[in-house]
Structure 1
Amino acid sequence: MRPVSPKLAFHKMHGLGNDFVVIDARVQSVTMTEGLARALADRHTGIGCDQLILLEPSDTADIAMRIFNADGSEVEACGNAARCVTQLIGAEAMIETPGGTIYGKSEGGGATLDMGQPRLDWDAIPLAYAMDTLDMPVGWDALENPVAVNVGNPHLVFFVDNADTVDLARLGPIIEHDPLFPDRVNVNVASVEPDGSLKLHVWERGVGLTRACGTGACATMVAAVRRKLVDGETVVRLPGGALSIAWTPGEAIRMTGPAIHVFSAEIDIEMLL
């Protein structure tokens, strides 16, 4: 008879359809590996998510957040996940991430985050060699002259007439894995709408096309302000919904949007591996 395996408790959450499996390692023992993260994220044989979020104790903040993409790779930051974690904790929270500390405040069905200041120098993105990050002299097919921004993780932002017409499913993985980006890169394609909002589609490294990307929305806002396409605050519209993003040069990025707790459950991880 097979012995009973310990259960792993988790929360399923999402921000604008960008969905997460959140595991609190402060209250249960978890040894997270690339393989386990990938198995949990599998939508056919696991729980299913864009990112797996592991919560741990922090010496410098209220909580530490580690982020694993669906392919098992660990990354530095995730804005939608930080809103979900803030909502899970409640009230206000200081969240330590590999990409920096995020300050969150729970507000009704969502949260507002202080995402810190963007990094704009080529070696902070990082790029493989020096170039102007505001008007990069590179291109892939019709996507040319992007803006590079690091908001805890690396982003490339292309402005086009209509973001809906770009075949990002084809171009996204090509750009993500280009040797110009030592840590790979998230690819954002945006257009400025008549009302001043930004329409955005994101190819997320290690995930693929995503319904929403909080750091992508922040990076796109920074790029749009630097290009003088929008003022200091606007709405960024993604396939999963809208985020309010504000940024003034020299200040922190502020993001406001929903965070939804879907359910809590347990899983036998031995069944996955």
Structure 2
Amino acid sequence: MKARLMNGAGNRFILADQRDSAIPAQLPAETVRAWARQHAFDQLLVLNRSEQADAYMRIWNADGDEVGACGNGTRAAAWALMEESGSDAASLDTIGGRLAAERAGHLSVSVDMGEPRLDWQSIPLARPMDTVALDFATEADGIRIETPGAVNMGNPHAVFFIRDVESLPVAKLGREVELDPLFPEKVNAGFAQIYDASHIRLRVWERGAGLTAACGTGACAALVAAHRRGLAARKASIMADGGELFVEWREADNHVILTGPVEDEGEIELAP
């Protein structure tokens, strides 16, 4: 299967186009994991036919689990579709609904990620809880973190606010948070340091993928969680390990807009 290796702020994807196939690809988890070991990607994106949008996009994490959303992956797929059509806009149907994207400059794409889901059932959590600040704590290497904000951006996120994110054992803490019973579908763990109301440093441990250079839905969740706590404005620059993303939580329609760079690393062949 021919595919493209792409990234968004260092968040790496394989984009495979299966729109010419009448039958959607059946991808066993072990096949996805084998490709991830070979090509070191965070998510596999597969484009299928759609009657209403430019394509229907399915998403697998590197561990082989199919998931509902990937913000940077959506931007990368939309860029490929826009390059193909010569248009400045593209739409993608996903498990979580339709997403609209548009060019935001040279090798830059914005995507409307829709409304954040904020009630405890939608995260989901194992029990009722205030999602502005969860009654939850964990620790690793003697460092305790607690009271994250919870946001679902098509996938679940717990966002911790940290004084010094660079010194944090993110991988150890992220693994603990991801698998905690409070999160029945597991969870992405974000670790955010607030520089000021419009600048946030973020590191993310992605469920099923591990520590990632950037996470689009994680950036969206961080901005939403920070604003709900009174720590950030509705628009901010999110600095990930792999680059800068921009997020706006619009007051007018409650939608979250994610903007950032894309890079096409070239064509590859996926072994059957």
- How far apart are the structure 1 equivalents of 2:198 and 2:16? 38
The Cα offsets for residues 194-242 of structure 1, whole Å up to 9 and x where unpaired, read as: 4740000100000100000000000000001111111111100000011
Deviation sequence 1:74-100 (CA, Å, 0-9, x none): 111000100100110012111111122
Residue ranges of structure 1 left out of the alignment (5+ in a row):
1-7
Deviations 1:44-86 (A, max 9, x none): xx23311111111123322111111111111110001001001
Q: Which runs of 5+ in 2 are unaligned?
A: 83-87
Q: CA offsets, 1:94-144, max 9 Å, x none?
A: 111112221101232020111100000000000011010001111112111
TM-score, normalised via structure 1 length: 0.91
Give the secondary structure class of the aligned counterpart of 1:36: helix
Q: In the TM superposition, what whole-angstrom CA distance separates every residue of 1:237-256 from its partner, at most 9, and x where no partner exists?
A: 00001101111355100111
> Taking every aligned residue pair, what percent have the same amino acid on both sides?
41
CA distance in 2, matches of 1:59, 1:180: 38
Amino acid aligned to 1:99: G
Matching of residues 82-231 of structure 1 within 5 Å: 82-90=74-82, 91-107=88-104, 108-141=106-139, 142-194=144-196, 196-231=198-233
SS class of match (1:219): helix
Counterpart contact for 2:5–2:13, Cα < 8 Å: yes
Of 261, 264, 267, which residue of structure 2 is paired with 1:264? 267
Does the aligned pair in 1 maintain the 2:60–2:66 contact within 8 Å? yes
2:30 is the alignment partner of 1:35: yes
Residue 31 (structure 1) shift: 2.6
Question: What's the TM-score, normalizing by structure 2?
Answer: 0.91
Aligned counterparts of 1:33 and 1:93: Cα–Cα separation in 2: 29
- Secondary structure at the aligned position of 2:159 is classed as strand
* Distance in 1 of aligned mates of 2:132 and 2:10: 30
Tell whether the 8 Å contact from 1:21 to 1:48 is kept in structure 2 after alignment.
no
Counterpart residue type for residue 132 of structure 1: D
Work out the CA distance in 2 between the residues paired with 1:27 and 1:48.
26
CA distance in 2, matches of 1:196, 1:93: 28
Query: Equivalent residue for 1:4?
Result: none
Q: How many residues align?
A: 259
202-211 or 133-142, larger mean C-alpha shift: 133-142
- Give distance in 2, aligned partners of 1:159 and 1:81: 25
Tell whether the 8 Å contact from 1:84 to 1:110 is kept in structure 2 after alignment. no
Q: Secondary structure at the match of 1:12?
A: strand
Q: Is the 8 A contact 1:16 1:259 kept in 2?
A: yes
- Secondary structure in 1 aligned to 2:151? strand
- In the TM superposition, residue 33 of structure 1 has moved relative to its aligned partner by 1.8
Q: Quick check: 1:17 aligned with 2:10?
A: yes
